[in-house]
Amino acid sequence: MANGVAFVRQDASKMDTWDPVLYWYARAVGRMQQRPATDPTSWVFQGCIHGVPPTITETNEAFNQCPHGGWFFLPWHRGYLYYFERIVRAAIKEIAAEEKITPDPSTTWALPYWNYALDAPDPNPADDFTSRALPEAFRTPKMPSHPDADDLTADNPLYLSDAQVLRPDFWNIPHRALDKNSAFEVLPYTDVNPFRAMSQTVFSATHSRQTDQPSFGSEISYTSMIHFRRGFGELENVPHNQVHGGVGGWMGAVAGAARDPIFWLHHSNIDRLWSGWLSKDNLNPDHTSWLDHQFIFFDENGQIQRPTSRDFLGIDPRDYAYEALTEGTGTRPAVVPPAPVTRAGERVLAAANPRQVLSVHGPTEVSLEPVGDAGRSMRAMAAGHAPETGLILTVHGVRTDVPPGTPFHVFLNGHGGELDPAGPYFVGWISFFGAADVDGSLHDHGGHDASFDITEQVHRLHEQGLLPDGPVTVSLVPSVPRPAPAPAEAAPAGAVAEAAPQPSFERVSLTAV
């Protein structure tokens, strides 16, 4: 026991490939995958608690619960992990008893976490591997046949192939995005740096105006278990949404995310960051609507459980703790990007209505047409000579057919094509997690608006002489661009839609508030 708890969750980024913690996780996942979908302790059933793909016909009141964009995001996922961990531990105990393995590994096993921000950027790295690559146990098709074996002959349940799978086969083939099983970074450090989240002092705020107070744990949603809203807190925005989008494939789609075994290590790290935030004397909400809201889970015996947020509070919640709360918690960026907001502004200064597909190979540039004397108004606001209180840049109607396997970076008026996320023109991120129309119906996970308060950024650009006099341009750039096809491999005319994911947006606007 450590700190009075029975189990300690450890960092998978530091583990050997088949550390006993990862070995037994793989064995338990394999056992759960063998169980029928109607069994609450099965892999399929547990995944459906988060989201249900169209290939699943079973129904249950516990299915399709995942709250995103509201203040139940953290406590619900903590409960989800807690009962899943117990199910895994029971499966390990079952396997160990059958194989007469002693001592029983389940007595100490705890769900590990993937600390993708453990290694900050190094200008002279010793090698190309960083903690932002998937742990190797998730990238290799085979695993040892026995905990003491040196062979790699058994099928590895933690492995999903990486491939480009488009409609209609997306839900028929468990997969990650193309090239994600390489030993290279799934995402750059910029996209997983939790500094901004860990710097917040408010758990949740009410998002009712354009200039919202940034928060750690997503917007106040009272008693509503919002399935997917854009009131993201800083932690849910970065790194949570970005990592889902960066891994891509089923992990990049809400309905399939929990069917990728890396999901649980990703959320273990998100939960760890919550514990780390609380350890800095920050406070959870004290509203009874948050504390006493009931969730629905199933325990290792397949029995329904209805815990509340109140049951999952504290730095060491329930009977587990984390190996470290201060590692991989972020570093201050050279330029802090603008804060995301949840609503567009009121008076439109400039707009573009291109309804276009975003390139997954490189920048997509959009020129905004001024409405009235928008250029003069923008420069006046930057210089502090106008009555308006702020500038909001919004990319409207963001959606995709299948997850593109990368978030996108948004830049404002990059001088000379400068598209550095550590530079002054970087606005923020667009994640397609929750915006993938994989089954063609969108439902509640449809296109969304990504809005950013760029008021202070425009002031800075003006003060530094970096604000161009010409039209406002916006560049949308894949964080991890896919190599462009060679000319001989290029798709014929009219076949582009079948060659790659089709992330898109409806329009871009610049508004004053």
Are 257 and 384 within one domain? no
Q: Is the pLDDT of residue 22 over 60?
A: yes
Alpha helices in 356-507 (DSSP H): 374-382, 455-463, 496-499
Last residue of a domain, one of 297, 322, 347: 322
278-283: which pairs have CB atoms within 8 A and are 24 or more residues apart?
278/314, 278/315, 279/315, 279/325, 280/198, 282/200, 282/201, 282/203, 282/216, 283/203
Mean pLDDT of 406-411: 96
Residue 200 lies in a domain: yes
Position with higher pLDDT, 308 vs 334: 308
Last residue of a domain, one of 295, 322, 349: 322
Please give the Cα distance from 463 to 77 (Å, whole number). Answer: 43
Using 50, 70 and 90 to split pLDDT, how confident is the model at 488? low
Q: Is the pLDDT of residue 366 over 80?
A: yes
DSSP for residue 100 = T
Q: What is the pTM of this model?
A: 0.93
Residue 333 lies in a domain: no
Residue 331 lies in a domain: no
Residues 6+ apart with CB under 8 A from 341: 207, 210, 211, 212, 392, 451, 452, 453
SS3 of residue 198 by DSSP: helix
- Percentages helix, strand, coil for the chain (3-state, rounded to 5) are 25, 15, 55
Residue 112, H or E segment: none
- Closest C-alpha among 267, 205, 215, 260 to residue 239: 267
Q: Is the pLDDT of residue 225 over 60?
A: yes
Q: Report the relative pairing of strands 154-155 and 161-162 from DSSP bridges.
A: unpaired
The pLDDT of residue 497 is 42
Using 50, 70 and 90 to split pLDDT, how confident is the model at 210? very low
Q: Is the pLDDT of residue 305 over 90?
A: yes
The pLDDT of residue 264 is 99
Inter-residue contact 435 to 398 (CB < 8 Å) = yes
CA dihedral 35, 41, 45, 48 (to 10 degrees): -150
Are 309 and 353 within one domain? no
Are 188 and 283 within one domain? yes
The radius of gyration of the chain from alpha carbons, rounded to an integer in Å, stands at 23
Mean pLDDT of 437-458: 77
The pLDDT of residue 513 is 79
Residue 400 lies in a domain: yes
Q: Is the pLDDT of residue 196 over 50?
A: yes
Are 435 and 463 within one domain? yes
Are 439 and 496 within one domain? yes
Structural domain count of the chain? 2
Residue 85 lies in a domain: yes
249-252: which pairs have CB atoms within 8 A and are 24 or more residues apart?
249/160, 249/162, 249/163, 249/165, 249/174, 249/175, 249/176, 249/177, 249/180, 249/403, 249/405, 250/160, 250/174, 250/175, 250/176, 251/176, 251/403, 252/177, 252/403, 252/404, 252/405, 252/432, 252/433, 252/436
Range of the domain at 161: 7-122+130-322
Please give the Cα distance from 197 to 282 (Å, whole number). Answer: 12
Are 313 and 435 within one domain? no
The pLDDT of residue 6 is 87
CATH number, domain of 351, equals 2.60.120
Are 497 and 380 within one domain? yes
- Closest C-alpha among 405, 410, 424 to residue 476: 410
Residue 332 lies in a domain: no
Using 50, 70 and 90 to split pLDDT, how confident is the model at 335? confident
Mind listing the pLDDT tens digit for each residue in 86-132?
Answer: 999 999 999 999 999 999 999 999 999 999 999 988 766 556 668 99
Please give the Cα distance from 160 to 140 (Å, whole number). Answer: 9
The pLDDT of residue 33 is 98
Share above pLDDT 90 across residues of the chain, in percent, rounded to a whole number: 65
Residue 329 lies in a domain: no
The pLDDT of residue 376 is 64
Q: Report the relative pairing of strands 175-176 and 347-352 from DSSP bridges.
A: unpaired
Are 415 and 278 within one domain? no
Are 496 and 371 within one domain? yes
Q: Is the pLDDT of residue 209 over 50?
A: no
Q: What is the mean pLDDT of the chain?
A: 88
Sheet of 369-370: strand order equals: 339-341, 448-453, 391-398, 507-512, 347-352, 369-370
Inter-residue contact 454 to 398 (CB < 8 Å) = no
Q: Is the pLDDT of residue 492 over 60?
A: no
Are 138 and 96 within one domain? yes
Mind listing the pLDDT tens digit for each residue in 245-287?
Answer: 999 999 999 999 999 999 999 999 999 999 999 999 999 999 9
Please give the Cα distance from 513 to 502 (Å, whole number). Answer: 32
Are 297 and 426 within one domain? no
CATH number, domain of 287, equals 1.10.1280.10
Please give the Cα distance from 260 to 32 (Å, whole number). Answer: 13
Last residue of a domain, one of 273, 292, 322: 322
Residues 6+ apart with CB under 8 A from 124: none
Please give the Cα distance from 91 to 375 (Å, whole number). Answer: 63
Residue 231 lies in a domain: yes
Using 50, 70 and 90 to split pLDDT, how confident is the model at 205? confident
Mind listing the pLDDT tens digit for each residue in 149-173?
Answer: 989 999 999 999 999 999 899 999 9
Are 317 and 355 within one domain? no
